[in-house]
């Protein structure tokens, strides 16, 4: 009797574990060029406030090392580069080459080149030494990772003692009366916007589905604690549409 093939979710689909990373790569290869525009349209610009809150909660100071994981087009990295200054460093890491290239070009166009480097890397097996970064952020990327527990353990390894992890991610809406409207937006309007702006309805349908499959606030906090993070907490933003999780390596 052959062993049953292991599967995981890709949106609402079940796919073989070994195929998920390639499917996610296809999504972001497709949307990279319009990613920033779509973020503004999808959130009515509110994603900038969520990221500003993350920046403020990070406590990052001059001279520190920051890893912006799944850093995409560099929104957070741009701000962190100014905070850490010439004596600090920011690493933008992303598994997707198209997103990384877009981020590098965007920051270079703004003259941000001296203290930022770019690394194509899988969050589940980060190619950095242990106890290396003062702060690690991952914004809207964890839900696309196949093995989230492995990614959290990898992040824990490369974080310095006393360092902190911040996860900004879509989460579970905690205003029940708004759920039908939120579902309508997610599964009808979002793919339509993807089709009109990025010429790709399917990728944005996947993104909406991936949000629903992501662990809720309490579950993600438990996952962080399970790999060793302490003093874990989370902050609901926009009624729980997004949550910022924070944990420390002591």
The domain of 41 spans: 7-175+204-248
Region 107-119 average pLDDT: 92
Q: State how far the alpha carbon of 226 is from the alpha carbons of 39, 82, 124, 161, in Å.
A: 32, 33, 16, 17
Q: Is residue 187 part of a domain?
A: no
* DSSP letter string, 154-208: HHHHHEEEEEEEEEEEE-----GGGHHHHHHIIIIIHHHHHHHHHS-HHHHHHHH
181-235 residue pLDDT tens: 999 999 999 899 888 888 888 988 998 999 999 999 999 999 999 999 999 999 9
133-177 residue pLDDT tens: 999 999 999 999 999 999 999 999 999 999 999 999 999 999 989
| Average model confidence (pLDDT) across the chain | 92
59-89 residue pLDDT tens: 999 999 999 999 988 999 999 999 999 999 9
| Beta sheet of 242-248, edge-to-edge order | 116-120, 89-94, 65-69, 133-139, 159-170, 242-248, 230-237
Q: Tokens 């309007």: give the residue.
A: 189
Q: Is residue 184 part of a domain?
A: no
State which H helix or E strand residue 72 sits in.
none
Q: Is residue 167 part of a domain?
A: yes
Number of independent structural domains in the chain = 1
Residue 20: predicted pLDDT: 86
Q: To 10 degrees, what angle do helices 190-198 and 201-213 make?
A: 140
The structure tokens listed for 166 are 């911040």
Q: Is residue 2 part of a domain?
A: no
Instruction: Say which residues have a Cβ less than 8 Å from residue 203's Cβ, sequence separation at least 6.
Output: 27, 30, 31, 194
Instruction: Outline where DSSP puts E strands in 79-132.
Output: 89-94, 116-120
Q: Is residue 107 part of a domain?
A: yes
Q: Is residue 199 part of a domain?
A: no
The structure tokens listed for 149 are 């527990």
**33 pLDDT higher than 80:** no
Residue 5: predicted pLDDT: 59
Q: Is residue 192 part of a domain?
A: no
Instruction: Say which residues have a Cβ less than 8 Å from residue 240's Cβ, sequence separation at least 6.
Output: 171, 172, 173, 174, 175, 217
Q: Is residue 106 part of a domain?
A: yes
Phi, psi of 166 (to 5 degrees): -125, 125
What CATH number should be reported for the domain holding residue 145? 3.40.50.150
| Residues of the chain above pLDDT 90, percent | 72
């Amino acid at each position: 009797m052959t062993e049953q093939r292991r599967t995981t979710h890709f949106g609402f689909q079940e796919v073989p574990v070994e195929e998920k990373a390639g499917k996610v790569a296809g999504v972001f290869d497709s949307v990279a060029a319009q990613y920033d525009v779509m973020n503004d349209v999808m959130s009515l610009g509110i994603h900038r406030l969520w990221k500003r809150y993350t920046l403020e909660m990070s406590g990052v100071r001059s001279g520190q090392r920051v890893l912006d994981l799944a850093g995409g087009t560099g929104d957070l990295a741009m701000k962190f580069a100014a905070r850490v200054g010439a004596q600090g460093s920011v690493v933008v890491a992303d598994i997707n080459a198209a997103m990384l290239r877009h981020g590098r070009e965007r920051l270079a166009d703004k003259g941000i080149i001296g203290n930022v480097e770019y690394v194509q890397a899988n969050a589940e097996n980060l190619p950095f030494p242990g106890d290396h970064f003062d702060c690690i952020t991952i914004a809207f990327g964890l839900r696309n990772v196949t093995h989230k527990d492995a990614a959290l353990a990898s992040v824990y390894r490369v974080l310095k003692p006393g360092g902190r992890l911040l996860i900004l991610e879509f989460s579970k809406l905690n205003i029940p009366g708004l759920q039908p409207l939120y579902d309508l937006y997610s599964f009808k309007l979002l793919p339509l916007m993807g089709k009109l702006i990025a010429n790709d309805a399917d990728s944005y349908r996947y993104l909406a589905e991936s949000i629903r499959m992501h662990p809720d606030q309490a579950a993600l906090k438990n996952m962080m604690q399970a790999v060793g993070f302490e003093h874990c907490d989370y902050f609901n933003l926009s009624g729980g549409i997004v949550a910022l999780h924070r944990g420390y390596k002591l």
